[in-house]
Amino acid sequence: MTHRIGLVVPSSNVTVETEIPALLSRHTEQFSFHSSRMRMHQVTPEELKAMNAQRERCVGELGDAGVDALLYACLVAVMAQGAGEHRRVEKEIRGQLPDTEILSSAGALVEGLTALGARRIALVTPYLRPLAEQVVAYLEAEGFTVADWAALEVGDNAEVGCIPGDRVLEAARGLDLSGADALVISACVQMPSLNLLVPAEEEFGLPVLSAATAGAYTLLTSLGLDPVLPGAGRLLAATH
């Protein structure tokens, strides 16, 4: 059996369609991936709002493909709309596709951190500082304490997909991780981080996850599949 995964992504995003399939290819089950795109280039409040307005069309297209699970894959587009927004968005999408498992990157990150038992966390984000502050506020409204965070201040979403791993790790090294339960090394599905997870866990000595690994975790659990993938960090290990 092949599980069909639907991805709603910003038009300028290339990373989520690389990292989610790469992660799930490590599972014993088979998956196929089907995307629909919303126009967005600059990561600004105005473009994010305009992008969200295209959601209904994208969801309808993926419904035509008969996907088993759908991931609304733009974390900041949801979190920038205010506390608890992922629940409202997922509920609305579920109204369109009642027979499909509906998830969002924003909700997946909350679920992944909760699964790890993390309460005090640190973040690396690519966003301009005002948007990064909204992500921090969103997670704190979910009951997490954000001990420290970094904003790489990249506003062009295409450029976010080209941020080198050493820059991401350098930002992580600049964080105060004392007392942190987990590090989110990429709070964005567009900022590449797949190859950083295991080295970062070894270096920092705590669970390291990303928007992509959280998305993979929730996709697997929503489909009733074992959320275990090798080489993907502690969230996707046999034991957390």
Which position among 132, 184, 188, 206 bears the catalytic label? 188
Distance between CA atoms of 144 and 95, rounded to whole angstroms? 29
Cα-Cα-Cα-Cα dihedral sign, residues 145, 149, 155, 158: negative
The answer to the question of whether 8 is labelled as a binding residue is: no
Tokens of 33: 């991936």
The answer to the question of whether 96 is labelled as a binding residue is: no
The answer to the question of whether 54 is labelled as a binding residue is: no
Beta strands in the chain (DSSP E): 2-10, 30-38, 69-72, 101-104, 120-125, 145-151, 182-186, 208-210
Q: Could you confirm whether 162 is annotated as catalytic?
A: no
Q: Could you confirm whether 58 is annotated as catalytic?
A: no
Which position among 74, 150, 194, 236 bears the catalytic label? 74
The answer to the question of whether 195 is labelled as a binding residue is: no
Count Cα neighbours of 127 within 13 Å in the Cβ-side half-sphere. Answer: 26
The answer to the question of whether 160 is labelled as a binding residue is: no
Tell me the three state secondary structure of residue 139. Answer: helix
Binding-site residues for substrate sit at: 13, 74-76, 127, 157, 189-190
Binding-site residues sit at: 13, 74-76, 127, 157, 189-190
> Which of the residues are catalytic?
74, 188
